[in-house]
Chain A
Amino acid sequence: MDKQRRKFLKIAGVSALAGIGAPAIIKLTSSNAVASSGGQEAAAGHAAPAAAGHGVAAVEAPQGVRLGMVIDMRKMAEQPGQLDSAIAACINAHNIPEFPDSKNEIKWLWKAPFQNVFLDHSSYHSSTRVANTPFPALCNHCDDPPCVRACPTKATFKLAKNGVVAMDFHRCIGCRFCMAACPYGARSFNWQDPRPYIKKYNADFPSRMKGVVEKCNFCGERLALGQEPACVEACKATGAITFGDLNDPQSEVRQVLDNEFTIQRKTNLGTKPSVFYIV
């Protein structure tokens, strides 16, 4: 009996030691391997951003059709009234209400001074033309649109077909997350029934209702009929706005982009806007 108890305690003690010690030993021996592979990963990890860092200057252009426009402010300044007529054409085409209170304003295409449109560009000692010409602003139809990421109902989305950031008003629940997400202020909310404030109806386009967000749709309904967007058409006389596929090397808009120095709004945010300006 005595002997057996002694034997039992010995075995129990050794087993306990082995049980406690084994994981520690496994950990110690394998930690070398982990550390070495981790080192490689870290090295690779460092290399990747560095490579991407070199590529920043030439951001890879998205593939497929990507509609965009170039706004030539030199031509825009030639005929100061044409921006107003472009805005009027947009309002007529899309049944946009004109609320008397600017707090409720619905903006698809609107005008703003240079320093408001290009916050990250200095307007210090800017030329008199730039200082005196109102700039058109609209939805930039970003390649990486923050509004689409913010939308909880997928009411706004990017059309794979042509890169247009479109909206399905039927699905909009009016949460206004997209408005908070959009860095360009290109989205407006209907705080009240817009119908009484629509001056003329276009029978081919719906109006919106109270509680819905809206924005420029690059005239998707006109493009389907082979027409250019309403604002492009309104500026046709001077050709101040060029519209087309940014990815097609033969397109008119690419010819302009290839030949002129253009700027985009808030490029540092990485949204890759499709609207370019020649200042």
Chain B
Amino acid sequence: MYNKGTIIPGLALFVLFVTFPIWFNGLTTAGDLPKPELPPGGEKQCVMPADYMRANHMQLLNEWRDNVLRDGNREILEIDGKKYRKGLQMACMACHTKKEKFCDSCHTYAAVTPYCWDCHLTPNEAASKEAIH
């Protein structure tokens, strides 16, 4: 074989470079699955089963938004004896009080930036200027 000295190290470098995503994820924490923090209050029941919520929470939120705003249907949902007012701030955030440790954990992993929080207040934000009622 001619040029053995350059071809073999070159091939080795090439394989190393092509398999970069595999070994990089294995060696670092970049590939770890996110672990969203469950509600600090210990609630086990959501408006829908966890599997459904994991996959479809965005559709459910859009549905609630259209119900509440467009149809004026703000009926209070009762699921297994617990009452929920339709709304991100009113229903979801009542249990999942830490947006930074629940929502963000997956959203950051999946590199999605939903614009909910441009207007909706996280419990942290709301507490920063507490209203007196």
Partner of B89, one of A167, A206, A208, A224: A206
Contacts of A170 in B (CB 8 A): 65, 69
A147 to chain B, nearest CB (A): 16
B3-11, B13-21, B39-47, B123-131 - interface stretch: B123-131
Q: Are B129 and A166 in contact (CB under 8 A)?
A: no
Q: Are A200 and B121 in contact (CB under 8 A)?
A: no
Binding site secondary structure of chain A: loop
Q: Is B70 an interface residue (CB 8 A)?
A: yes
Question: CB distance A201 to B119 under 8 Å?
Answer: no
* B71 close to chain A: CB less than 8 A: yes
**Given A92-B131, A220-B74, also A203-B69 (CB < 8 A):** no
Task: Judge if A238 is at the interface, Cβ distance under 8 Å.
Answer: no
Any chain A CB within 8 A of the CB of B90? Answer: yes
Chain A residues positioned under 8 Å from B127 (CB to CB): 201, 203
Interface range on chain B: under 10, 10 to 19, 20 to 34, or 35 or more? 20 to 34
A209 contacts B126, CB within 8 Å? no
Q: Which of A168, A198, A199, A208 contacts B69 (CB 8 A)?
A: A168
A161 contacts the other chain (CB 8 A): yes
Residue pair A209, B119 in contact (C-beta under 8 Å) = yes
Contact A207 B72 (CB under 8 A): no
- B69, B128, B130: most-surrounded residue (chain A CB, <10 A): B69
Q: Is the CB of B90 within 8 A of A204?
A: yes
CB-CB < 8 A to B32: which residues of A? none
Bound CA span A255–B33, Å: 64
Task: Report B5 CB to chain A, min CB distance, Å.
Answer: 62
Residues on B with beta carbons closer than 8 Å to the beta carbon of A202: 126, 131, 133
Within the complex, what minimum Cβ distance (angstroms) separates B116 from chain A? 9
> C-beta contact mask, B60-72 vs A, less than 8 Å → 1, else 0?
0000010001111
Assess whether A159 is interfacial by the CB under 8 Å rule: yes
A interface list, Cβ under 8 A from B? 92, 95, 157, 159, 161-162, 164, 166-170, 198-209, 212, 220-221, 224
18 contacts between A and B (CB under 8 A): A92-B132, A95-B121, A161-B72, A161-B73, A162-B72, A167-B69, A168-B65, A168-B70, A198-B129, A201-B126, A201-B128, A202-B126, A203-B89, A203-B131, A204-B89, A205-B89, A207-B120, A212-B119
Instruction: List 17 additional contacts besides A159-B71, A207-B121, A209-B119; criterion CB under 8 Å.
Output: A92-B131, A92-B132, A159-B72, A168-B65, A169-B119, A199-B129, A200-B130, A201-B125, A201-B126, A202-B126, A203-B93, A203-B123, A204-B90, A207-B119, A209-B118, A212-B119, A220-B72
